[in-house]
A = this chain, B = another copy of it.
């Protein structure tokens, strides 16, 4: 691509590597940024530099934060004794948006996977077990994705924790606002098996 200066081309190439953006949308985004210099380009430059220097993993739970211990782990108002296990930071943020869980989290950073050579040690399962012990945990909630790898990992962790504390997992069933006609057979089967008395 020519017609633009080297620095601008470089920025377009980097933006095109973001998920959800390709070369065409990266060009559009960069032109938009340059048009909105004061309102967007300069603030974005500052924000991204700040995150580049400050963002780090919470040493306790694996959440992304700007201090050694994340806001959730540092918050005394959150219940001790309950740990919600999620696969990724994105899942942790999704749980927080629902604004219903008031305990602590543990981010696995992936799932057990023979293909990707992800075993219990790579996932930090021993560290999780130590944490469950140290924090006098009474309940571990498994909020892993309802995929094959996610459920395999959930069963492995549940086996490891058996006898140490209560282990629960998110309910499976019909999503709120979901229409039966558009649901897959697996979800309908799970929802029927887990039916409740009204």
* Chain A positions near chain B (C-beta within 8 angstroms): 1-8, 10-11, 14-15, 17-21, 25, 27-34, 37, 40-45, 47-52, 54-55, 63-67, 70-72, 88-90, 92-93, 95-97, 99
| A31 x B1 contact (CB < 8 A) | no
Which of B5, B43, B47 lies in contact with A65, CB distance below 8 A? Answer: B5
A-B contact pairs, 19 of them (CB 8 A): A3-B63, A3-B71, A3-B97, A5-B71, A7-B50, A7-B55, A8-B51, A8-B55, A14-B40, A18-B29, A18-B33, A19-B32, A27-B90, A31-B64, A31-B88, A34-B51, A34-B55, A44-B48, A49-B49
Q: Closest chain B residue to A14 by CB distance?
A: B44
| A8 x B66 contact (CB < 8 A) | yes
| B93 x A3 contact (CB < 8 A) | yes
Q: Chain B residues with Cβ under 8 A from A45's Cβ?
A: 45, 48-49, 51-52
On whether A27 and B66 interact (CB within 8 A), knowing A32-B19, A44-B14, the answer reads no
| B5 x A67 contact (CB < 8 A) | yes
Give the 9 A-B CB pairs with smallest separation, nearest first.
Answer: A3-B96, A5-B66, A11-B47, A20-B25, A45-B52, A18-B29, A45-B49, A45-B48, A14-B44
Q: Closest chain B residue to A75 by CB distance?
A: B2
Whole-angstrom CA separation of A48 from B93 in the bound complex:
27
On whether A64 and B34 interact (CB within 8 A), knowing A20-B20, A45-B49, the answer reads yes
Q: Closest chain B residue to A55 by CB distance?
A: B34
| B97 x A54 contact (CB < 8 A) | no
- A76 to nearest B CB, angstroms? 16
Q: Chain B residues with Cβ under 8 A from A55's Cβ?
A: 5, 7-8, 34, 37, 41
